[in-house]
Amino acid sequence: MEVIFSNEDLAMEILSRLSAKNLLRCKCVSKRWTNLISDPSFVRIHHQRSRCISGLLVQEFEEYGGNFLANDYFLYASVNGELGIFKLMDESFPHPTSVIMASCDGLICYRSRRTEDVEVLDIVVWNPMTQERLTLRPTDCHVGSIFGLAFYPFGSSAKMIPCFKVVSIQRPKHGQNSYSFVIFSSATGKWKTSLEVCYCKDELHENKHIYVNGRFYWLTSNQNIITFEVDEELSGVITVPGSKWLAGGAKLACLGDSDGYLHYVCIDMSELRVWMLTDPCKPIWVLKHHINIDQFGEESRDHYNHRVWHSPERIGDSFVVDAQTFHDEVVYLSIRGRLCSYDFKTGRLRFFFNGLYLRHMTKVQATVLPYTPTLATIGIPWLKQNSGIAISFASTSFNYQGRPRKKLKTRKT
């Protein structure tokens, strides 16, 4: 082994193909391995090769004045079969009090649940790989309840220091025909209200938004997409392609990304279509994939016939398919409540055996987010001096189900 790894190029070629979780363990082998894995050039190579997602963050919830319902839940659906991350997510995410917002290159953003007594929400940026959590409490600015996360693994300026930004989109205090934007930057440790205003009367879907290649995109109730270019702080409104939605049609559409391009997935009658936005400035949509979803019905009936006839989500004899998310040529769906994926490259339909079913007849559709752990998250300078933000450290306690759970302690600067 030492003979093989005496060649640094060969060592880098082999180690860069391991998962981030395994590489953290490899750091314990020797000081030489630690230096190699921590090297910025190695982190960049590993980041380029670890674009495949490891799993899906799934949360189903409803907020009624802060009352938590018994059928609310959070789970991590593994895509690559790595059970270590499943256990890590299950034990570390504070599900009963939190709502997951976004995931970007290994970082996760979530907020506290809305209650009648709480005026300002806590926003948390969490690194599951290191269990570091940054709690952000907005001051001197007006934020809403929808937050996006942009992570720059190799910096957003000439300094090349890893950093992230959290963007809040909301209606102004006085006005219902536009949206304003508030930005938190880890580089400055401060919130700032953007001067940009986006004029749009549409309501936003709480969990149908994504960050792709420097821009945020939010899907609206009237088949439009609000865009916000983070660095330039410029917004716009894009109309999505396809036919007009019927009532509840938002459940049949979702946003995703592949190769750095925004993708829009919609289910129209018996067809599933995937559109790619080739230019967000013009904009130009190109129909990339389209398939007949009746084939899913036949396959799912063979395996889940017992579920169909006893499901509260069954609407007569109808075949219920909801679009959840899209990533790297794979669309993630729920078929009669069962979470599954369809790979356009292989034509393979795969069901996730997590034992839970996503509800169709709900006000807010389940949140389903791709998650990809990366080494790049380890190099973030989390805490800035005199920034007024808090960082959390983990210690072990027991959760309400009697299993070990991380208990958070918070230190302020």
The pLDDT assigned to 399 comes to 32
pLDDT band at 305 (very low <50, low <70, confident <90, very high): very low
The pLDDT assigned to 275 comes to 96
Whole-number Cα distances in Å, 385 to 136, 178, 187, 227, 345: 15, 36, 11, 33, 48
Which residue did the predictor score with more confidence, 60 or 149?
Answer: 149
Q: What mean pLDDT is predicted for residues 358-379?
A: 76
Residue 383 CA to residue 378 CA, distance in Å, equals 13
Cβ–Cβ < 8 Å for 363, 147: no
Q: Does residue 116 have a pLDDT over 80?
A: no
Q: Does residue 314 have a pLDDT over 50?
A: no
Q: What mean pLDDT is predicted for residues 384-396?
A: 41
Q: Does residue 265 have a pLDDT over 90?
A: yes
3-state secondary structure string, the chain? CCCHHHCHHHHHHHHCCCCHHHHHHHCCCCHHHHHHHHCHHHHHHHHHHCCCCCEEEEEECCCECCECCCCCEEEEEECCCCHHHHHHHHHHCCHHHEEEEEEECCEEEEEECCCCCCCCCCEEEEECCCCEEEEECCCCCCCCCEEEEEEECCCCCCCCCCEEEEEEEECCCCCCCEEEEEEEECCCCEEEEEEEEEECCCCEEEEEEEEECCEEEEEECCCEEEEEECCCCEEEEEECCCCCCCCCHHHHEEEEEECCEEEEEEEECCEEEEEEEEECCCCEEEEEEEEECHHHHHHHHHHHHHHHCCCCCCCCCCCCEEEEEEECCEEEEEECCEEEEEECCCCEEEECCCCCCCCCCCCCCCEEEEECCCHHHHHCCCCCCCCCCEEEEEEEEECCCCCEEEEEEEEEC
Q: Does residue 345 have a pLDDT over 70?
A: yes
Q: Which residues pair with 78 in a beta bridge?
A: 55
The pLDDT assigned to 239 comes to 93
Q: What average pLDDT does the structure give for the chain?
A: 77
Q: What mean pLDDT is predicted for residues 363-391?
A: 66
Q: Does residue 405 have a pLDDT over 50?
A: no
Question: Residue 94 — φ and ψ, nearest 5°?
Answer: -80, 70
Q: Which two tokens stand for residue 73?
A: 């839940």
Which residue did the predictor score with more confidence, 235 or 161?
Answer: 235
Cβ–Cβ < 8 Å for 75, 356: yes
Q: Taking the model in full, what pTM does it have?
A: 0.82
